[in-house]
Amino acid sequence: MSRARALDDADKLASHRAEFVEAPGVVAYLDGNSLGRPLTTSVARVETFLREEWGGRLIRGWDEGWLDLPLSIGDELGRVALGAAPGQVAIGDSTTVLIYKLVRAAVDARPGRTEIVIDRDNFPTDRYVVEGIAADRGLTIRWADTDAAAGVTPELVADLVGPQTALTLFSSVAYRSGFLADVEAITAVSHAAGALALWDLCHSVGVVPTELDAWGVDLAVGCGYKYLNGGPGAPAFLYVRRELQSEVRQPIQGWLGSATPFEMGQGYTAAAGIRGTLSGTPPIVGMLAMQDMIALLSSVGLEAVRAKSIALTGFAIELCDALLPTAALSSPREATRRGSHVTLDHPRFAEIMPLLWERGVIPDFRRPDGIRLGLSPLSTSFAEVEVGVRAIADVLGER
Amino acid sequence: MSRARALDDADKLASHRAEFVEAPGVVAYLDGNSLGRPLTTSVARVETFLREEWGGRLIRGWDEGWLDLPLSIGDELGRVALGAAPGQVAIGDSTTVLIYKLVRAAVDARPGRTEIVIDRDNFPTDRYVVEGIAADRGLTIRWADTDAAAGVTPELVADLVGPQTALTLFSSVAYRSGFLADVEAITAVSHAAGALALWDLCHSVGVVPTELDAWGVDLAVGCGYKYLNGGPGAPAFLYVRRELQSEVRQPIQGWLGSATPFEMGQGYTAAAGIRGTLSGTPPIVGMLAMQDMIALLSSVGLEAVRAKSIALTGFAIELCDALLPTAALSSPREATRRGSHVTLDHPRFAEIMPLLWERGVIPDFRRPDGIRLGLSPLSTSFAEVEVGVRAIADVLGER
């Protein structure tokens, strides 16, 4: 394991690994892209919040800062990880609910246009939400049949968009292959057709530098529990470009998205700006751990995180080439087109998953036969990657 | 304070008050209907969950029980507080999002019917959601103009429903007046017109015994952070009567409401039963405190909780009559028509709220000039009610 040790020794981010809660018996956690690990500070923070803020301040907490958290954490996330100026990001709901809000808002903002473009390899919830809205509103889905190895490309999108396209919806990093799309170029293709571009950032936020403002992205959503380490079922986030905020109206009109929530008045008027995207009472406890991770990302810098991510995934591929010659790499070899996970396919991967868990090696599994190594730069070591890949090779070899 | 002390001494539930986290400096917390207090066990439980389950089990936690929590806690809530047989209640999202799902589902399940009946005094989010859906789908809202003192009555509803009514939506306990509606009778009136009945249980769940199955209720939603003590922004819950589950389809099609979420396949098929109401990844951390409170309610029994609630609100009214003769009681005097909060109106209440907070007396305030005393039977003492009402009288008198 000298190569991994050398990489860890040279890794300037290595010390951050100790900031995460230890998992007894786990020798390689390679699923940070499904559920990031908790920071030790988050455990203490949440405990203190429950006792002192919820328990001690009680209802006064809403006046003393809780009500601002969806937008203040959103602004921080925008600054640290999204390239978004303040007032364009809000935390809340689930990714699914936020995709629903923004797809509905987008198609309503492009009346007369009858098509939504999305890829077959997009995450199921994205596709399912779009299918439901398309059926409800009589819209047509134009499916991009991506080559999993190539992912979503500007050329593919250009072939599908046209004067009938209301919206395109793709993932910046494909959940299965890890393919990293050219968000800026594809957004430009969507705009050239007069369509809005909605991006699912679930598998890129917190690990791939993103410049939503500079790239001209219209709308985005993402997940709080992967590389933002918010905990199981943590709230999601959305981005609505400032210029679109008066035009794009989400359909779930709730009191906390209204202009005057505590007036309790007759008739809904949406709050100006990003606050109008809120619906119900914000899920405060679920935001706290995410806020801690955003602060850590801010201190480390996303460029350094990305550099380690590339090194980790590159090292994983190198090891897989050497140790798992019978598995097929389903992720891009080119670092600039790769997110922070690496997927391998092998017909026997499904059967070995329980054996890996027994050894404390925890990758992700994706049907039908993919093992996904999700490498979270601040909590994953190179040694852990090597332990994991060697374990997969050993278990495959033993059977 | 002898009368309050005597009531506390005779109160068989009094000892439970010590199970809640202490709030330093708070001498009367009278806002349990806005934000219930945390159980001490919940603080420890959440801390342990973050460290051992999220931090220790990591992604394996989903397979080891987390995925079941929305329905297993839902079943427990149904048994303990809703009179609902298993398989009809699910935890998730916010109240607003769940109202949206069920109003949409209901109007889609009654095609050709063009009207929704709701009252002007209903909570803003209920009204706002209905306004949005009505505008989107070309439906008409028939507004019930409730007399705040009388609340929603079967007679009032009977005057408004008809062959065009798709849905009625009322609150079991009115958020402002505390009026307790006759859910069973009003549901029957809705059914007689062929409409579905959706009930907002936010201000009754956990404090007013409810028999959704026996009363024939079709659909219900409610809040996790009031008398269920789930914490700020805790997830909400919904109920869909078993017989309607194949007919009523919610519009936010997400992966965790699909029949085979981990197949990641093409084409959404809703999961059978109540699971089909889920959308995104369940907010696990937010459910834990609620689960603790449901367990406590189960051990105490909702009838005993209701008996103390009636005694507390009755005592509050008695004190207000004696000490606040210039304030107007805006809640029913009749115990059987009263939830667990008491609202008083006085033109100077807005100005005295900061002075009450300074004294550690924390009631709720509702525009334009209402003080709402929310009395949570397991965490509120009679002495606390007396301290609170005397403080209001003192502060009013001093100014």
Any chain A CB within 8 A of the CB of B16? no
Judge whether A23 is closer than 8 Å to chain B, CB to CB. yes
Distance between CA atoms of B363 and B360, rounded to whole angstroms? Answer: 10
C-alpha torsion A9→A13→A18→A20, nearest 10 = -140
- pLDDT at residue B368, as a whole number: 87
The closest alpha carbon to A180, from A145, A213, A217, A149, belongs to A149
Q: Please, are residues A200 and A180 in contact by the beta-carbon 8 Å criterion?
A: no
3-state secondary structure of B155: helix
pLDDT over 60 (residue A81): yes
Element spanning A345, H or E: strand A341-345
Mutate to test the interface with B, among A252, A260, A269, A361 (most CBs of B within 10 A): A252
Q: Are B33 and B123 in contact (CB under 8 A)?
A: no
Q: Looking at residue B354, what is its pLDDT?
A: 95
From A38, A131, A280, residue closest to B95, measured CB to CB: A280
Q: Nearest CA to A59 among B231, B175, B236, B96?
A: B231
Please give the pLDDT value at position B367: 84
Q: In the prediction, which pLDDT does B398 show?
A: 78
pLDDT score recorded for residue B149: 67
Catalytically annotated residue among A123, A170, A349, A382:
A123
Of A267-271, A378-382, B356-360, B366-370, the one with minimum mean pLDDT is B366-370
Please say if the pLDDT value at position A1 is more than 70: no
Closest CA to B233 of A252, A62, A272: A62
Amino acid at B287: M
Chain A positions in Cβ-Cβ contact with residue B57 (cut-off 8 Å): 23
- Rounded average pLDDT over A356-378: 95
Dihedral pair phi/psi, residue A393, rounded to 5°: -65, -45
Pairing type for strands B28-30 and B165-171 reads unpaired
% of chain B residues with pLDDT over 90: 95
- Return the residue of A nearest to B368 by Cα: A263
Nearest to B129 among A100, A124, A252 (CB): A252
Q: Which of A47, A96, A258 sits opposite B280 (nearest CB)?
A: A96
Using the beta-carbon criterion (under 8 Å), do A285 and B231 form an inter-chain contact? yes
Q: Which residue of B has its CA nearest to A280?
A: B96
Mutate to test the interface with B, among A46, A130, A285 (most CBs of B within 10 A): A285
Q: Assign domain B46-297 to a CATH class.
A: alpha beta
Quick check: B18 contacting A, CB < 8 Å?
Answer: no
Question: Is B2-30+301-398 CATH 3.90.1150.10?
Answer: yes
Burial class (CB in 10 A: 0-12, 13-18, 19+), A17: middle
Contact A365, B264 (CB under 8 A): no
- Indicate yes or no: CB of B124 within 8 angstroms of CB of A265: yes
Amino acid at residue number B203: H
B window 112-171, beta carbon within 8 A of A: 120, 123-125, 127-129, 131-133, 136
pLDDT surpasses 70 at A271: yes
- A267 contacts in chain B (CB < 8 Å): 131
How many other C-beta atoms are found inside a 10 Å radius of the C-beta of residue B336?
8
> A with B: how many residue pairs have Cβ under 8 Å apart?
277
Report pLDDT for A148: 65
Given an 8 Å threshold on Cβ–Cβ distance, is A93 in contact with B286?
no
* Residue B220 region by backbone torsions, left for phi larger than 0, else alpha for psi between -120 and 50, else beta: beta
Q: Tell me: the pLDDT tens digits for B307-364?
A: 999 999 999 999 999 999 999 999 999 999 999 999 999 999 999 999 999 999 999 9
DSSP A253-287: --GGGBS-GGG--SS--BPSGGGGG--S----HHH
Residue with the two structure tokens 């593919």: A156
CA B356 to chain centre: 26
Does residue A208 carry a pLDDT above 70? yes
pTM: 0.98
First to last CA, chain B: 24
Q: Assess A270–B contact: CB distance below 8 Å, yes or no.
A: no
CB burial string B237-254: b at 16+ within 10 A, e below: bbbbbeeebeebbbbbbb
Contacts of B51 in chain A (CB under 8 A): 21, 38, 43
Q: Do A35 and B284 touch (CB under 8 A)?
A: no
Q: Best of A42, A96, A126, A287 to disrupt the B interface by mutation (most B CBs within 10 Å)?
A: A96
Catalytic entry in A200, A218, A292, A364: A200
Mean residue pLDDT across chain A: 96
Cross-chain Cβ contact A231/B100 below 8 Å: no
Q: In chain A, what are the helix, strand and coil shares in percent, each to the nearest 5?
A: 45, 15, 35
ipTM: 0.97
Q: Which residues of chain B does A256 touch, with a Cβ-Cβ cutoff of 8 Å?
A: 96, 125
Chain A CB contacts of B262 under 8 Å are 367
The residue-averaged pLDDT of A214-224 equals 98
Comparing A2-30+302-398 with A46-297, is the CATH topology the same?
no
**Residue A285 sits at the chain B interface (C-beta within 8 Å):** yes
By the 8 A CB rule, do A363 and A31 touch?
yes
Specify the pLDDT at position A368.
87
* H or E segment to which residue A100 belongs: helix A95-109
Q: pLDDT (tens digit, 9 = 90+) per residue, A50-80?
A: 999 999 999 999 999 999 999 999 999 999 9
User: A225 vs chain B: nearest CA distance in angstroms?
Assistant: 10
Judge whether A20 is closer than 8 Å to chain B, CB to CB: yes
Averaged pLDDT for residues A251-263? 95
CB of B65 within 8 Å of any CB in chain A? no
Number of neighbouring beta carbons within 10 Å of residue A62? 20
Per-residue confidence (pLDDT) for residue B147, from 0 to 100: 76
- The distance of B11 to chain A (nearest Cα, Å) reads 24
Q: Which of A59, A280, A282 sits opposite B125 (nearest CB)?
A: A280
Condensed to tens digits (0 to 9), the pLDDT of residues B131-164 reads 999 999 999 999 999 876 678 999 999 999 999 9
Active site residue A200: yes
Query: Strands B219-222, B341-345: parallel, antiparallel or unpaired by DSSP?
Result: unpaired
Measured between alpha carbons, how far is A11 from A15 in angstroms, rounded to an integer?
Answer: 8
Active site residue A128: no
At B274-293, the pLDDT tens digits run 999 999 999 999 999 999 99
Torsion angles phi and psi, residue B158, rounded to 5? -60, -35
Give catalytic status of residue A123 as yes or no: yes
Cα separation, B316 vs B42, in Å, equals 29
Which A-chain residues 168-207 have CB contacts (< 8 A) with chain B? 176
CA dist A37 → A173, A205, A358, B101 (Å) = 20, 15, 19, 32
- Average pLDDT of chain B? 96
For residue B1, pLDDT over 80 is answered with no
pLDDT, residue A399, reads 60
Closest chain A residue to B119, measured at CA: A266
Partner A contacted by B338 (CB < 8 A):
no
For the stretch A87-139, pLDDT in tens is 999 999 999 999 999 999 999 999 999 999 999 999 999 999 999 999 999 99
pLDDT band at A346 (very low <50, low <70, confident <90, very high): very high
Q: Check A255 against B128: CB less than 8 A apart.
A: yes
Q: Do A266 and B127 touch (CB under 8 A)?
A: yes
Q: Which chain B residues are closer than 8 Å to A232 by Cβ?
A: 54, 61-62, 66, 281-282, 284-285
Which pLDDT does position A398 carry in this prediction?
78
Residues of chain A with Cβ-Cβ distance to B128 below 8 Å are: 253-255, 258, 268
**Gap between the Cα atoms of B233 and A83, Å rounded:** 28
Read out DSSP for B90-106? Answer: EEES-HHHHHHHHHHHH
The domain ranges of chain B are 2-30+301-398, 46-297
Class of CATH domain A2-30+302-398? alpha beta
The model's pLDDT over A144-163, given as tens digits with 9 standing for 90+, comes to 998 766 789 999 999 999 99
**Residue numbers of B annotated as active site:** 123, 200, 225-226, 372
Per-residue pLDDT tens over the stretch A160-204: 999 999 999 999 999 999 999 999 999 999 999 999 999 999 999
How far is the C-alpha of A231 from the C-alpha of B168, rounded, in Å? 37
